[in-house]
Amino acid sequence: MSSNSGGLDSRVRIGHVHLKVSNLDRSLQFYCSILGFELQQKFGTQAAFISAGGYHHHIGLNTWESLGGLPPPSGRTGLYHVAILYPTRATLGSAVRRVLDAGHELEGAADHGVSEAIYLRDPDQNGLELYRDRPEPEWPRDEMGKLAMYTRPLDLAGLLAPA
């Protein structure tokens, strides 16, 4: 394993994720109508690119190898989840409210100290995390000043109250 003596540039980000889905229209219904992403471009019944705020795409959806397919069985390697970062607690609460109002079940909710996170599955059983980061000065630290994340129950009712 080689290393860059200067480390990875702090501006590096994960740019987008591309998901194999079994039914493009069903996935667009979920990601656009429920989560609120905007359709940027659609290629017939095979692929679509969606985003927030007009970006070319944050999520690509395609049926190229998966039309009518089944989710991978549990206990296999692969993507654990895609994390969607919301800018505020209010926008996260609104997104979770829309998910619940649409009849989708949550798999979990956690306070990680640095963030508040909701876990669920999309229609193709891809794992999703909807979350918001706390401001860095609020992140938990140990006595040496190192990050000390944790997993505790999330006050879901408090998150949803303003929504």
Residue 80 CA to its chain's centroid (Å): 11
Domain map (residue ranges) of the chain: 15-68, 79-163
Domain 79-163: top CATH class: alpha beta
Same fold, 15-68 and 79-163: yes
Query: Which tens digits make up the pLDDT trace of 95-138?
Result: 999 999 999 999 999 999 999 999 999 999 999 999 999 999 99
pLDDT tens-digit readout, 141-151: 999 999 999 99
pTM for this one?
Answer: 0.91
* 74 compared with 137, residue with greater pLDDT: 137
- Structural contact between residues 53 and 67, judged by C-beta atoms closer than 8 angstroms: no
Q: Which CATH architecture has domain 15-68?
A: Roll (3.10)
Place of tokens 């394993």: 1
Torsions phi, psi of 152, nearest 5? Answer: -130, 160
The CA distances from residue 156 to 26, 117, 120, 134, in Å, are 27, 10, 14, 16
Which pLDDT belongs to residue 5? 59
